[in-house]
Amino acid sequence: MIHEECGVMGAYDFDGKDVAIDLYHGLYTLQHRGQESCGIVTNNYVGLYTVKGKGLVNEVFNKDNLSTLKGKIGVGHVLYGYTGEQSDGVQPIVSRYCKGSMTIALNGTITNYNELRSELEHRGAIFQSASHAEMVMNMVAVARTQTHSAEEALLSVVARLKGAFSIILMSPKKLMAVRDPYGFKPLSMGKRNNTYFFASETAAFDVIRAETLCDVKPGELIKIDDNGVTHFDAAVGKKPAQCIFEFVYFARPDSFIDGKSVYCARIDIGKELYKAAPAEADVVIGVPSSGLHFALGYSYASGIMYADGLVKNSYVGRTFIKGTDELRREAVSIKLNALRGAIEGKDVVLVDDSIVRGTTSANLIKLIKDGGAKKVHMRIASPPFVHSCPYGSDIPDRKHLAAVRMDVEGIRKSIGADSLGYLPIEAFKNVGLGDRFCDACFTGNYPDGFSEKD
């Protein structure tokens, strides 16, 4: 499984009411984008109020600390854990600089981070974490010594950043959101009465009864302050290249990206998958939760009965303890048990979003066959995964990727499937996910000319 890094949220209430509870509810909805740590910073002009920590939204926030978060402007963040120095990087990051306070939440990866950081270091900057947000903060502080406003400073910084990023920046009296020129990461704007919101996904607006206004456009900066809402072009002339994997796996099904329902896209992909890789079978089942909607689409297109073939145990937490080696496979069945009643004696189509290393697929197919299935036809709702991602998706070394190490028949054998079919890359276009997307992980076509090392 590959993972997305982080979700961001911002809020500005023109009526002056506290926004913390909205951010808290919104972060719950973005939790799937990062479970390592989370935080909220609010601003009531008198001061900044911060609650952040390791763990889930559920664990970091409580009634007492939420009630300390005063203020009509606020920023929230959920962090997907980077290896290494992640512990220093709990966001939002707050700093003081020559113009007062600055708070940043960032989702993404700055591909020229090392170069920009080195430049800052050589003029005397220090870094207390490896967080790209801290680096951006330093750049803004330097830029601010030569510009007339925070938005000018941020615009000049964004012009120098490469890679994928959605940034929320709160200065003493302003809230700004900016999305990278290619629009790799999603970022939307919502509104409820006189309160405006930014969030990585529109589902966060639903839960706080806000309506989705628009997406922040690739290369756009939106500023909210006492004067109202102002739009700026932070960068222009790039062809949008949104991460296709947001539709395949990262985003919630109830989110809309650039106006397109993620759920509908997945249903449609499932239909395309059947067209491209049909199978004769008694039932089609999905791997929970990410494979379910592809399986449903596959069923719609094929007429093969959709069934629930795997039961997920929602009580298994991060501290799950495995037994002795011979029983280690139990771990899979405690988290996911085969539903014998649905699959026994049947030929099964099993749909998943992707194959990374192949070990998970192998375990699942074994589980389903142990559960009585006669045949398992594996279908994958994306093309073979063969390139690395410099834009923030946590993909293992290429040498570990199944599709790099083997051809399709090799993978089929290694996972124990009776047949194996992938979605062809062209199918994305058929469902409306065409030119505006980055599919470099499947094709190696990096929109910004990034060159993959081998």
Catalytic residue flag (residue 6): yes
The residue within the footprint of its own copies, chosen from 156, 261, 360, 363 (CB under 8 A), is 261
**Contact yes or no for 73/11 (Cβ under 8 A):** yes
Size of the site for its own copies (CB under 8 A): 85
Element (H, E) at 190: strand 188-192
Report the nearest approach of its own copies to the CB of residue 35 (Å). 8
CA distance 187 to 3: 18
Q: Looking at 176-184, 232-240, 315-323, 379-387, which segment touches its own copies (CB under 8 A)?
A: 315-323
60 binds its own copies (CB under 8 A): no
Q: Is 3 in the site for its own copies (CB under 8 A)?
A: no
User: What track of x and - describes contact with its own copies for positions 112 through 151 (by CB under 8 A)?
Assistant: ------x--xxxxxxxx--------xx--xxxxx------
Beta carbons within 8 Å of 304's beta carbon, 6+ residues apart: 279, 281, 282, 283, 284, 298, 349
Shortest distance, position 452 Cβ to its own copies, whole Å: 27
* Cα gap 212→251, rounded to integer Å: 16
* Interface segment toward its own copies; rule CB under 8 A; list 1-9, 166-174, 308-316, 401-409: 308-316
Query: Taking CB under 8 A as the rule, does residue 33 contact its own copies?
Result: no
What would the two tokens of residue 135 be?
A: 């680096």
> Any contact of residue 159 with its own copies (CB under 8 A)?
no
**Using CB under 8 A, which residues numbered 342 to 401 contact its own copies?**
342
DSSP 310-342: EEE-TT--TT----SGGGTTHHHHHHEEE-HHH
Dihedrals φ, ψ of 355, to 5°?
-120, 125
Contact pick of 29, 242, 388, 393 for its own copies (by CB under 8 A): 29
x/- map, 265-304, its own copies, by CB under 8 A: --x------------------------xx--x---x----
- The 63-92 site mask, x for binding its own copies (CB under 8 A), equals x--x---------------------x----
Residue among 221, 262, 364, 368 that touches its own copies (CB under 8 A): 262
Tokens, residue 177: 């959101």
By CB under 8 A, the residues from 196 to 225 that bind its own copies are 203, 206-209
Q: Angle CA(315)–CA(320)–CA(324) in degrees, nearest 5?
A: 135
Closest CA to 350 of 366, 335, 334, 330: 366
- Residue 333 or 419 with smaller CB distance to its own copies: 333
- Least distance to its own copies, CB of residue 75, Å: 15
Q: Which of 68, 334, 413, 432 binds its own copies (CB under 8 A)?
A: 334
Q: In whole angstroms, how close is the CB of 306 to its own copies at the nearest point?
A: 6
Q: How far is the CB of 339 from its own copies (least distance, A)?
A: 5
Residue of 6, 243, 389, 441 marked catalytic: 6
Among 93, 234, 269, 441, binds its own copies (CB under 8 A): 93
Instruction: Please answer whether residues 342 and 309 qualify as being in contact, where contact means their C-beta atoms are separated by less than 8 angstroms.
Output: yes
- According to DSSP, the β-strands at 310-312 and 336-338 are antiparallel
- The verdict on 238 binding its own copies (CB under 8 A) reads no
Q: How many CB atoms are closer than 10 A to CB 62?
A: 10
CA end-to-end span of the chain: 21
Q: How far is the CB of 445 from its own copies (least distance, A)?
A: 28
Which long-range contacts link 368-372 to residues 24+ away (Cβ below 8 Å)? 368/285, 368/309, 368/310, 368/338, 368/343, 369/416, 370/338, 371/309, 371/338, 371/339, 371/340, 371/343, 371/344, 372/338, 372/340, 372/343, 372/344, 372/345, 372/346
Rounded CA gap, 30 and 208, in Å? 13
Known catalytic residues?
Answer: 6
